[in-house]
């Protein structure tokens, strides 16, 4: 096949370097393809890039340098390059930053692990370069080389070696440790689906088989078999010879999850998340590009892998906040999955028991299809939910487990069943206060209180991670022996549970108590096996773990998420409470969820308790529509950070004063005000919020408006679709 660009042709290359434009180079010996991964000279250095198109020719042509190396990786496909361009436009991020997210495997040639041996056959056409290769081979007879090694040893370009493979003088093989993934078999014997599940699976299979873009919301309570159903969509993608990606919010999920995929298809899928080794990373990257990795299970960043032919993306627990990347390119993987699929005729399945309002609204308006699974699988039924009105409970100071909840736990202990006490607060106590002066210990660098962790015997800032010993004397007034912990964290709740139920085995599940994801997984497996009577957990327990013997969930503070002015607070609390309650009664015994609250008549709590999901979303939707906020309007946050608060406000005010052209386009501008996290690591953060109707092209307006020169110590970040508003 002829390459897209023949040797010497002018091509335009996007590099991973922070330069705002493409650079022109000449195609190397043997030519190169559009999308090829290349090494190019940039000043004195050699950098990684991708051939993005034909050269612009706007330089002094005599000075254009040649591509120095073609990496041995499949070219980035057209739709992948379009995808990166669109995400860059949407998030207002430079394209080179997008490219860096895609080419995460740093030494590409090692990723490929192709090795070369001499065949003993002499090529018809002998050149000095080819001769050099053969003599290196002869010097190290019998040894296999990677492309990079051989090219370097012989002083030739890789294309010479590729040419010699074609000429039969060299054999190209896959190195043993880069063996392909075992094939996944869609026809492997699988579970018999219930009627409800089978209907849902049939609809999804049809959508995947159509080869057309589409998105489906798959809604069903935890335990209804959503996973079983979407694995049938994965099976269909496999039958079509296309690839499938399953995105999960937490690594903690993937151990159990990978086993389930293996059970369904008879082989393990590829994994992609921060926990895999560099060698595995290279292997997966390469195999995804060639199409040899058929199914990938991964974290949000897996969306940027260069799939050959992505036919299906499943976003499990699509409402989860961790799909939004918090630094660098501020994208939401759920939304970008939809974009990606629309570019390559793929299907998207958004699975959740408690969809985001965005997704619910898209299904409501008919933009997405919707499939509901109505009941839990087998004998399991949804737990009963009740409020415990804390105003009526007698509770001594320093105690958080109400008598009613105590009674319920005791009952479980007597029956040999497990209870979960949920409190979304890590550490021992959220506040450490001086009883002499009333001051709370705060982080010196952040706008955050220091949280006591008894386990570490230290105060920790949850914002920046700063630690210090628990002080004996007050840092503010210097009085000794007056520091007291105020309020509960999971460690303190553990103490209370152990005191109240001395016979019980109490276990805490909190992300900070485990050094590694593996340790956490082991502990979870132990608990599932019956290794605990009372589990005390933060939100990591809310996600996807199956504890079959768990029949009681006690929520220590159901009001926690409803404080503050965030318009998303109701949605988040609703989702979290539902998710946590769903942990109870996953096996035969019926579960109960008890929510301790001081405001049982709050509309959100009423919706949670009544089980009227649709009513809740309708009411939320009405409020958001009236306020003109997402999903019924567009929003963006402009965050200005600076070591100096006044300087940050100055810039914010300058933007506000320059906002008339935005207002003329129907865009409202609020602020500047301190950002939700007002100070981190010594940097002050000031935010403006921008709001517009859906029909307004926000990005174009923002890009112009925000392009103002800033001193080097200041930063301006644009956050499209912010998580809180």
Considering the complex, state which of residue 169 and residue 253 has its C-beta at the smaller distance from ligand ADP. 253
Candidates 244, 443, 594, 636; binder of Zn ion (CB under 5 A) is 443
Question: Among 7, 85, 384, 445, which residue interacts with Zn ion (rule: CB under 5 A)?
Answer: 445
Shortest separation between residue 450's beta carbon and Zn ion, angstroms: 8
Told to check if 227 binds ligand ADP by CB under 6 A, we report yes
**Which segment (53-61, 220-228, 388-396, 703-711) binds ligand ADP by CB under 6 A?**
220-228
- Give the total of residues touching ligand ADP (CB under 6 A): 14
Which of the residues 465 through 524 are near Zn ion (CB under 5 A)?
466
Find which of ligand ADP, Zn ion, none residue 224 binds, CB within 5 to 8 Å per kind: ligand ADP
CA distance 667 to 693: 8
CA separation for the pair 284, 112 (Å, rounded) = 10
SS3 of residue 380 by DSSP? coil
453 neighbors 460 (Cβ within 8 angstroms): yes
Segment (H or E) for 23: strand 23-26
Q: Does 447 bind Zn ion (CB under 5 A)?
A: no
Give the annotated binding-site residues.
Answer: 434, 437, 443, 446, 461, 464, 474, 477
Q: What would you report as the CA-atom Rg of the chain, rounded to the nearest whole angstrom?
A: 29
Minimum gap (Å) between residue 229 Cβ and ligand ADP:
7
**Residue 30: how many other CB atoms lie within 10 Å:** 16
575 forms part of the interface with ligand ADP (CB under 6 A): no
Using rule CB under 5 A, residue 337 touches Zn ion: no
Report the residue from 26, 71, 226, 572 that binds ligand ADP according to the rule CB under 6 A: 226
628 φψ region: left (φ > 0), alpha (ψ -120 to 50), beta (else): left
* Structure tokens given for 379: 């004998």
The distance of closest approach from Cβ of residue 224 to ligand ADP in the complex, given in angstroms and rounded to an integer, is 4
Q: Between 45 and 374, name the residue whose CB sits nearer to ligand ADP.
A: 374
Q: Pick between residue 371 and residue 461 the one whose CB is nearest to Zn ion.
A: 461
- Please, which of residues 179-218 interact with ligand ADP by CB under 6 A? 191-194, 197
Q: Tell me which of ligand ADP, Zn ion, none is bound by residue 405, counting a contact when its beta carbon lies within the kind-specific cut-off of 5 to 8 angstroms.
A: none
Q: Residue 226's binding partner, choosing from ligand ADP, Zn ion, none, with beta-carbon cut-off 5 to 8 A by kind?
A: ligand ADP
Sign of the four-CA dihedral 289, 339, 276, 243:
negative
Of 399 and 468, CB closest to Zn ion = 468
State the binding site for Zn(2+): 434, 437, 443, 446, 461, 464, 474, 477
Strands in 347-352's sheet, in edge-to-edge order, are: 270-272, 295-298, 243-247, 310-316, 347-352, 214-220, 369-373
Q: How distant, in Å, are the alpha carbons of 82, 244, 339, 365, 694 from that of 214? A: 18, 14, 10, 14, 21
Tell me, residue by residue from 537 to 566, as one string, x for binding to Zn ion by CB under 5 A and - for no binding.
------------------------------
The piece of 205-213, 463-471, 661-669, 689-697 that touches Zn ion (CB under 5 A) is 463-471
In whole angstroms, what is the distance from residue 80 CA to residue 99 CA? 10
DSSP string, 483-501: EEEES--HHHHHHHHHHH-
* Three state DSSP letters for 182-243: CCCCCCCCCCCCCHHHHHHHHHHHHHHHCCCCEEEEEEECCCCCHHHHHHHHHHHHHHCCCE
Q: Sheet containing 23-26: which strands, arranged edge to edge?
A: 23-26, 10-15, 45-54, 37-42, 69-70
Residues contributing to the site for Zn ion (CB under 5 A): 443, 445-446, 461, 463-464, 466
Residues contributing to the site for ligand ADP (CB under 6 A): 191-194, 197, 220, 222-228, 377
């Amino acid at each position: 096949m002829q390459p897209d660009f023949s040797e010497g042709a002018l091509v335009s290359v996007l590099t991973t370097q922070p330069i705002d434009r493409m650079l022109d180079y000449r195609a190397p010996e043997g030519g190169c393809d559009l999308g090829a991964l290349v090494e190019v000279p940039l000043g004195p250095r050699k950098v990684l890039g991708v051939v993005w198109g034909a050269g612009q020719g706007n330089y002094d042509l005599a000075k254009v340098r040649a591509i120095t190396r073609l990496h041995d990786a499949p070219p980035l496909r057209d739709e992948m390059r379009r995808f990166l361009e669109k995400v860059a436009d949407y998030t207002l991020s430079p394209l080179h930053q997008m490219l860096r997210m895609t080419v995460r495997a740093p030494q590409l040639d090692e990723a490929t692990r192709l090795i070369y041996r001499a065949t003993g056959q002499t090529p018809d056409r002998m050149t000095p370069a080819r001769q050099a290769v053969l003599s290196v081979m002869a010097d190290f007879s019998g040894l296999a080389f990677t492309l990079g090694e051989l090219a370097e040893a012989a002083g030739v370009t890789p294309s010479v070696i590729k040419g010699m493979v074609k000429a039969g003088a060299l054999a190209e093989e896959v190195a043993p440790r880069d063996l392909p993934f075992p094939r996944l078999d869609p026809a492997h014997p699988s579970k018999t689906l219930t009627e409800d599940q089978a209907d849902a699976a049939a609809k999804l299979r049809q959508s995947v088989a159509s080869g057309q873009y589409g998105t489906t919301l798959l809604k069903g309570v935890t335990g209804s078999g959503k996973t079983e159903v979407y694995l049938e969509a994965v099976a269909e993608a496999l039958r079509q010879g296309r690839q499938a990606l399953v995105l999960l919010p937490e690594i903690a999920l993937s151990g159990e999850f990978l086993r389930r995929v293996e059970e369904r298809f008879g082989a393990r899928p590829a994994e992609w998340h921060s926990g895999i080794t560099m060698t595995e990373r290279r292997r997966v990257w390469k195999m995804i590009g060639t199409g040899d990795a058929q199914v990938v299970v991964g974290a949000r960043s897996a969306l940027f892998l260069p799939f050959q032919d992505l036919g299906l993306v499943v976003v499990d627990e699509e409402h989860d906040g961790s799909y939004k990347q918090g630094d660098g390119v501020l994208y939401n993987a759920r939304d970008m999955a939809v974009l990606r699929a629309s570019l390559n005729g793929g299907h998207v399945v958004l699975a959740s028991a408690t969809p985001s309002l965005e997704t619910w609204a898209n299904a409501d308006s008919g933009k997405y299809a919707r499939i509901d699974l109505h009941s839990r699988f087998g004998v399991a039924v949804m737990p009963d939910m009740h409020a415990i009105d804390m105003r009526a409970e007698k509770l001594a100071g320093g105690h958080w487990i109400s008598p009613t909840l105590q009674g319920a736990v005791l009952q479980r202990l007597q029956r040999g069943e497990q209870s979960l006490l949920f409190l979304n607060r890590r550490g021992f106590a959220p506040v450490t206060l001086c009883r002499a002066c009333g001051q709370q210990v705060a982080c010196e660098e952040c706008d955050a209180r220091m949280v006591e962790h008894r386990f570490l015997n230290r105060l920790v800032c949850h914002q920046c991670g700063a630690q210090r010993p628990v002080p004996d004397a007050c840092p503010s007034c210097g009085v000794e022996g007056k520091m007291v912990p105020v309020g509960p964290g999971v460690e303190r709740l553990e103490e209370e549970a152990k005191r109240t139920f001395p016979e019980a085995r109490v276990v805490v599940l909190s992300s900070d108590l485990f050094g590694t994801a593996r340790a956490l997984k082991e502990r979870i497996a132990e608990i599932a096996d019956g290794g605990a009577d009372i589990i005390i957990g933060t939100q990591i327990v809310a996600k996807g773990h199956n504890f079959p013997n768990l029949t009681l969930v006690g929520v220590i503070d159901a009001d926690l998420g409803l404080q503050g002015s965030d318009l998303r607070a109701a949605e988040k609390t609703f989702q979290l409470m539902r998710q946590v309650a769903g942990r109870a009664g996953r096996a035969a015994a019926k579960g109960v969820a008890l929510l301790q609250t001081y405001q049982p008549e709050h509309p959100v709590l009423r919706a949670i308790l009544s089980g009227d999901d649709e009513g809740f979303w309708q009411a939320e939707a009405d409020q958001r529509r009236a306020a003109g906020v997402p999903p019924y309007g567009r929003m963006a946050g402009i965050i200005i950070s600076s070591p100096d608060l006044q300087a940050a406000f100055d810039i914010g005010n300058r933007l506000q004063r320059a906002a008339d052209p935005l207002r003329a386009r129907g865009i409202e501008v609020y602020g500047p005000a301190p950002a939700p996290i007002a100070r981190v690591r010594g940097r002050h953060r000031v935010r403006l919020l921008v709001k517009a109707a859906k029909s307004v092209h926000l990005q174009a307006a923002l890009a112009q408006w925000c392009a103002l020169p800033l001193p080097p110590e200041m930063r301006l970040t644009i956050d499209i679709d912010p998580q809180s508003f």
